[in-house]
């Protein structure tokens, strides 16, 4: 089923770029429709539908190596809740775009766990985790490294390995590869 989705998604992307080219060429000489199409592009960008670039931080965390004879490995494993909380604190620090192992966090994103598998946007993600966030670098970095903050606590109270927290001036956060669709919600008058 997943393969069939990916095939359809590829077709959809082709159609959408065809449509965008059509709009671009037609609005080039009309200021009203040009400003509309620019606003549309901006809104699509907010929806996470395209790759975005900018300054920010990259966090790398992974399952820790438990000493032999450890009975409960749970303390050494990155759990879905850990990823949810990191994302929450990055947004709290003003992150504008976040991805986990290439999966963009959008308004409908759930980060869940089934058995031993973590899923983001219904896609499996596994250790090591790379969390990229675009936003004001110093603020994001501070929120992740300051004593008492979530990631700091995680590093000091669990066996999870915080491999690196790196500032970067040119991060690319991948676009969302899902589809927005409302079946139940309607615009209220």
Partner 1 sequence: MAKIKKGKIILTISIGLTAFILVMVMFTQFKTVEQTDITGIETMREAELRTELASWKSRYEDANAKIEETEQKIDEYTEQINSNNDLTTLLSEELEEAKMYAGYTNLTGPGIIITVSDTDTAQIEAYDLITLVNELKNAGAEAISINGERIVANTDITDINYIYIVINTNSTDNGVLRISSPYTIEAIGNQKYLESAITLKYGYIDQMEANGKSINYTLEDNIYIEKYNGDLSFKYATE
Residues 50-69 that bind partner 1 (CB under 8 A): 50-56
Tell me which of 66, 136, 154, 155 binds partner 1, using CB under 8 A.
136
For residues 2 to 21, the per-residue mask of contacts with partner 1, x marking binding by CB under 8 A and - elsewhere, is x-xx--xx-xx--xx-xx--
Residue 73 C-beta: closest distance to partner 1, Å:
20
Residue 68 C-beta: closest distance to partner 1, Å:
27
174 binds partner 1 (CB under 8 A): no
179 binds partner 1 (CB under 8 A): yes
Residue 1's Cβ-count burial label (10 Å; 0-12, 13-18, 19+) is exposed
Q: What b/e string do you get for 51-86 counting C-beta neighbours within 10 Å, with b at 16 or more?
A: ebebbbbebebbbbeeeeeeeeeeebbbbbebbbbb
Tokens found for residue 166? 């790196």
Q: Within a 13 Å sphere around the CA of 103, how many CA atoms are in the beta-carbon half?
A: 20
Rank residues 67 and 182 by Cβ distance to partner 1 and give the closer one: 182
Instruction: Confirm if 171 and 53 have CB atoms less than 8 A apart.
Output: yes
Interface residues for partner 1 in 76-95 (CB under 8 A)?
81, 84-85, 88-89, 91-92, 94-95
């Amino acid at each position: 089923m997943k393969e069939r989705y990916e095939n359809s998604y590829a077709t959809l992307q082709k159609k959408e770029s065809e449509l965008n080219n059509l709009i671009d060429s037609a609005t080039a000489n009309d200021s009203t429709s040009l400003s509309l199409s620019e606003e549309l592009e901006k809104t699509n960008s907010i929806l996470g539908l395209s790759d975005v670039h900018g300054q920010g931080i990259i966090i790398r965390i992974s399952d820790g190596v438990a000493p032999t004879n450890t009975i409960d490995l749970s303390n050494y494993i990155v759990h879905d809740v850990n990823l949810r909380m990191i994302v929450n604190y990055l947004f709290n620090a003003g992150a504008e775009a976040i991805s986990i192992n290439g999966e963009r966090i959008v308004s409908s994103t759930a980060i869940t766990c089934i058995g031993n598998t973590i899923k983001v946007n219904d896609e499996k993600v596994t250790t090591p985790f790379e969390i990229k966030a675009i936003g004001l670098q110093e603020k994001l970095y501070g929120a992740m490294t300051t004593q008492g903050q979530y990631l700091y606590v995680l590093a000091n109270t669990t066996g999870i390995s915080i491999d690196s927290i790196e500032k970067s001036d040119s991060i690319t956060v991948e676009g969302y590869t899902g589809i927005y669709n409302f079946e139940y919600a309607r615009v209220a008058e």
